Amino acid sequence: MNIKPNTPFFFIEELDTNSIVILDSNESKHAIRSLRLKQGDTIYLINGRGLVCKAMIVDDNFKNTTLKILEYENIKPHPYYLHLAVGITQHSDRFEWMVEKIVELGIREITPIVTQRTEKKSIKVERLQKIAISALKQSHQPYLPIINHPINFKDFVQNADATVKAIAVCSETKTSLSSLLNHSNTSYLIAIGPEGDFTIEENQFAQKQGFIPIHLGNSILRSETSGVYVASILRFFYNF
């Protein structure tokens, strides 16, 4: 399928390949009232699980816009799975900004973690999911990441599983993120601490669970910047 870059994307979780699809009220209003689309215009539909459909508007009712599927394609996921576990930031808007950007960069799973230095113990997962869907549509990504509920850091690392597991630390280490990248690796799990970094105890505990301590360059990055940095490095390495 040849996707035109300026054509809008819409999210339908239960999307299938039936010939007729109806947008819900929110997406219909956005299409007809905000974007001023009309009968005969084409758009793309995604379900966040790889299915992309090209559709034409056959009824431009702003409450329940009716579409006809013209063609569809199941997009294969990119060749690696990136899971970021990030300490909840003191200000929710910073964590939300990070979610938006790393979804645009192709993240596949996000886990907010509660550490010893985490000042805020919770975050609104439902809001993060809405932000992720919006970023998915904007960036034309076919896969919506899993966004997990917050979990205690030690509980998380005890059950963590990936081809490569790493913990980003501010303490001295010679191992960089890029040195762990290899095209034979299929999944990466990178843990990023909150403001103030992980404690020495948390760092040591993670290493006992198989996590490799890494640095993210010479600068001290904010938690949310670190998340974007990691997602960008992997995207560049795998060239997608």
Measured between alpha carbons, how far is 13 from 109 in angstroms, rounded to an integer? 17
Q: Looking at the chain, how many residues does it have?
A: 240
DSSP code for 145 = P
Measured between alpha carbons, how far is 162 from 83 in angstroms, rounded to an integer? 9
Q: Are residues 94 and 179 in the same domain?
A: yes
* This prediction's pTM: 0.93
**Domains contained in the chain, number:** 2
Which three-class secondary structure state does DSSP give residue 191? strand
| Domain harbouring 103, CATH code | 3.40.1280.10
Residue 217 maps to a domain = yes
Residue 1 maps to a domain = no
Measured between alpha carbons, how far is 148 from 137 in angstroms, rounded to an integer? 20
Residue 47 maps to a domain = yes
Hunting for tokens 């997009």 — which residue is that? 75
Q: Which two tokens stand for residue 96?
A: 């939300």
Q: Are residues 232 and 137 in the same domain?
A: yes
Domain of 28, in residue numbers? 9-74
Q: Are residues 87 and 31 in the same domain?
A: no
Q: Are residues 86 and 193 in the same domain?
A: yes
Residue 109 maps to a domain = yes
Axis crossing angle, helix 223-238 with helix 92-104, rounded to the nearest 10: 0
Sign of the Cα torsion 35, 36, 39, 42 reads: negative
pLDDT in tens, 33-58: 999 999 999 999 999 999 999 999 99
Residue 3 maps to a domain = no
Q: Are residues 68 and 89 in the same domain?
A: no
Is the pLDDT at 122 greater than 80, yes or no?
A: yes
- What is the model's pLDDT at position 173? 84
Is the pLDDT at 86 greater than 90, yes or no?
A: yes
Is the pLDDT at 240 greater than 90, yes or no?
A: no
- What is the model's pLDDT at position 133? 96
Residue 104 maps to a domain = yes
